[in-house]
């Protein structure tokens, strides 16, 4: 009888390439895998339940506040009748007992406060995930990142006695937007309940060893081997109305702070030729579009929304070169070796990458691109122009990707991933 695995993710599970690779590897190895993710009611095409493969199911829990709380908060905020009603209730409570008035005022104030609604929403998601995690008898629980670890701990250790894997895709104690010391305190405390901890490279594993005094398992973020379907072709030149003679200079991935995208746009006027394509979505996309417009770069840059993971590399293979320009704004960025680096390699696209340990190691050892100071637009432009003016060098780097992708691919790495599961099972038999 196949083992059942509950996998928690704090996203809508529409573009999570790493988790998809891991789950399909488990499914191919004979495991029954249930992915517990979030559901967004605003995405009308997003199903609450999916079965994309035999023995692999996706359960999405509601990510909104409970209906009554949502309506109550909206009523308090918008309705004139609510204002009058609250005034009447306040007067009555004052005459009954002033303490009741104080409690009522505190309740209304908290409900109207945005941060309270966010906290209540997260608590609601948390409870729904735990409920889904207990809906079936699972043999192993697998938490992806810190925001799903508490749910997995409750299910695996408090309510059941099952093994738990903590698969951290980020450095939780040094990330942009995660500055609170609570992240480090909670991770350290929760780690005592985990049976296995996974990180994505040895730079991060060494950081964890220094911080928590153990060396985690390492499963690299390598891409699947790309075997393009000749009947499935995407021509970015035609799609974006880019002249055929203009090379496509591609960035793909999240459009977020610290990805070096503002520096990339500043560098565009220094490029000898080419059109930059930014493929993806994120919080700063509109700001970048305004930056490009203010610099009158509309003809030299294009923006595309994110595309399904299954289609992504058909876009990637159009590129003359690809950017991986993380900025050193936190250790998480400094230590990264993210999807796009290996996706470029799969498509024989030379990389212009940040001069950081993991990125530099791959680019320089395999000779598949150039490393730069990712904070310096002039340095970025110099590297771009070197490849634009030296087609022979660019072709050499592209050819080297053929050998590199034999080494940096998921077919090899998933064996290490499955060995972790085998060892875990052997230790709990």
pLDDT digits (tens, 9 = 90+) for 176-188: 877 678 888 899 9
Q: How far is CA 216 from the centre of its chain?
A: 20
Q: What are phi and psi for residue 82, nearest 5 degrees?
A: -65, -40
Rounded to whole angstroms, how far apart are CA atoms 139 and 160? 10
Domain at 236-408: CATH code: 3.40.50.2000
Largest Cα span, the chain: 87
pLDDT given at position 64: 83
Using CA atoms, how far apart are residues 416 and 397, in angstroms rounded to an integer? 29
Mean per-residue pLDDT, 112-125: 70
Q: Is the pLDDT of residue 208 over 50?
A: yes
Those residues with Cβ within 8 angstroms of residue 23's Cβ, 6 or more apart along the chain or in another chain = 7, 33, 35, 56
Closest CA to 401 of 339, 321, 327: 321
Nearest CA among 186, 191, 343 for reference residue 253: 343
User: What is d(CA 304, CA 349) in angstroms, rounded to the nearest whole number?
Assistant: 19
Q: Supply angle C-alpha 333, 334, 340, rounded to 5.
A: 55
Residue 116 scores a pLDDT above 70? no
Q: Tokens in use for 211? A: 């911080």
User: How much is the pLDDT for 388?
Assistant: 98
pLDDT of residue 75: 47
Judge whether residue 134 has pLDDT over 70: yes
Higher pLDDT, 66 or 197: 197
Span 47-60, average pLDDT: 96
Q: pLDDT tens digit string along 82-98?
A: 555 555 555 565 566 66
Mean pLDDT of the chain: 90
Q: How confident is the model at residue 117 (pLDDT cuts 50, 70, 90)?
A: low
Does pLDDT of 353 surpass 80?
A: yes
Contact in structure between 38 and 63 (CB atoms under 8 Å): yes
- pLDDT of 69 > 70? The answer is no
- Rounded to 5°, the CA angle 345-348-349 comes to 80
- pLDDT of residue 409 exceeding 50, the answer is yes
Q: Say which CATH topology domain 4-64+121-221+412-428 has.
A: Rossmann fold (3.40.50)
pLDDT of 429 above 80: no
Give the pLDDT score at 184. 84
Residue 296 CA to residue 216 CA, distance in Å, equals 48
Contacting residues for 299 by C-beta, under 8 A, at least 6 apart: 275
Decide if 48 contacts 59 (C-beta within 8 A): yes
Q: Which residue has the higher pLDDT, 273 or 100?
A: 273
Most confident of 73-77, 118-122, 377-381: 377-381
Confidence of residue 121 (pLDDT cuts 50, 70, 90): confident
How many Å apart are CA 292 and CA 301, to the nearest integer?
Answer: 8
Task: Copy the structure tokens of residue 152.
Answer: 């997995």
Report d(CA 34, CA 146) in Å as an integer: 19
Does position 206 have pLDDT exceeding 50, yes or no? yes
| pLDDT single digits (tens) 210-264 | 999 999 999 999 999 998 888 889 999 999 999 999 999 999 999 999 999 999 9
Please report the pLDDT score of residue 180 as a whole number.
74
CA dihedral 250, 255, 257, 262 (to 10 degrees): 40
Tell me the pTM: 0.86
Work out the pLDDT band at 41, boundaries 50, 70, 90: confident
Sketch the domain layout of the chain as residue ranges. 4-64+121-221+412-428, 69-118, 236-408
Decide whether 4-64+121-221+412-428 matches 236-408 in CATH topology: yes
pLDDT higher than threshold 70 for residue 361 = yes
Tally of CB atoms within 10 A around 261: 26
Which stretch of 114-118, 348-352, 422-426 has the lowest confidence by average pLDDT? 114-118
Statement: residue 359 has pLDDT above 90: yes
Please, how many CA atoms are within 13 Å of residue 272, restricted to the half-sphere of its CB? 11
Query: 305 is written with which tokens?
Result: 């929304």
How far out from the chain centre does Cα 152 lie? 19
**pLDDT above 90 as % of the chain:** 76
Distance between CA 122 and CA 128 in Å, rounded? Answer: 10
Scanning 166-284, the segments in alpha helix (DSSP H) are 182-190, 202-212, 236-239, 261-267
Write the CB contacts of 72 (distance below 8 Å, at least 6 apart in sequence): 111
How high is the pLDDT of residue 79?
53
């Amino acid at each position: 009888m196949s083992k059942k695995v509950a996998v928690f993710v704090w996203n809508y599970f529409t573009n999570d390439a790493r988790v998809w690779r891991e789950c399909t590897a488990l499914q191919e190895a004979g495991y029954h895998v249930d992915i517990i993710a979030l559901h967004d009611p605003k995405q009308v095409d997003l199903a609450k339940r999916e079965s994309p493969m035999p023995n692999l199911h996706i359960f999405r829990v509601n990510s909104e506040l409970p209906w009554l709380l949502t309506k109550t908060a909206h009523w308090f905020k918008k309705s004139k009748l609510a204002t009058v009603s609250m005034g009447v209730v306040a007067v009555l409570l004052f005459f009954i007992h002033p303490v009741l008035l104080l409690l009522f005022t505190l309740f209304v104030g908290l409900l109207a406060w945005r941060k309270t609604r966010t906290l209540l929403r997260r608590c609601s998601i948390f409870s729904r995930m735990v409920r889904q995690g207990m809906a079936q008898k699972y043999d192993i629980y697998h938490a992806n990142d810190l925001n799903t670890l508490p749910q997995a701990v409750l299910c695996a250790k408090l309510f059941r006695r099952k093994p738990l894997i903590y698969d951290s895709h980020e450095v939780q104690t040094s990330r942009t937007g995660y500055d609170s010391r609570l992240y480090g305190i909670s991770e350290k405390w929760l780690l005592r309940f985990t049976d296995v901890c996974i990180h994505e490279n040895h730079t991060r594993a060494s950081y964890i060893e220094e911080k928590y005094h153990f060396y985690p398992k390492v499963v690299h973020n390598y891409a699947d081997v790309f075997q393009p379907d000749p009947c499935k072709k995407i021509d970015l030149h035609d799609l974006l109305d880019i002249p055929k003679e203009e090379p496509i200079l591609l960035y793909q991935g999240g459009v977020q702070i610290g990805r070096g995208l503002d520096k990339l746009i500043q560098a565009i006027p220094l490029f000898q030729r080419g059109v930059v394509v930014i493929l993806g979505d994120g919080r700063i996309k509109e700001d970048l579009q305004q930056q490009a417009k203010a610099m009158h770069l509309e003809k030299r840059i294009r923006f595309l929304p994110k595309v399904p993971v299954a289609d992504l590399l058909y876009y990637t293979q159009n590129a003359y070169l690809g950017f991986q320009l993380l900025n050193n704004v936190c250790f998480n960025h400094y230590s990264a070796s993210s999807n796009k680096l290996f996706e470029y390699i799969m498509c024989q696209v030379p990389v212009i990458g940040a001069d950081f340990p993991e990125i530099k190691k791959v680019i320089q050892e395999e000779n598949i691109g150039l490393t730069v100071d990712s904070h310096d637009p002039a340095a970025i432009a110099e590297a771009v122009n070197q490849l634009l003016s030296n087609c022979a060098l660019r072709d050499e780097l592209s050819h080297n990707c053929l050998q590199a992708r034999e080494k940096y691919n998921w077919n090899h790495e998933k064996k290490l991933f499955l060995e972790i599961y085998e060892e875990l099972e052997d230790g709990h038999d």
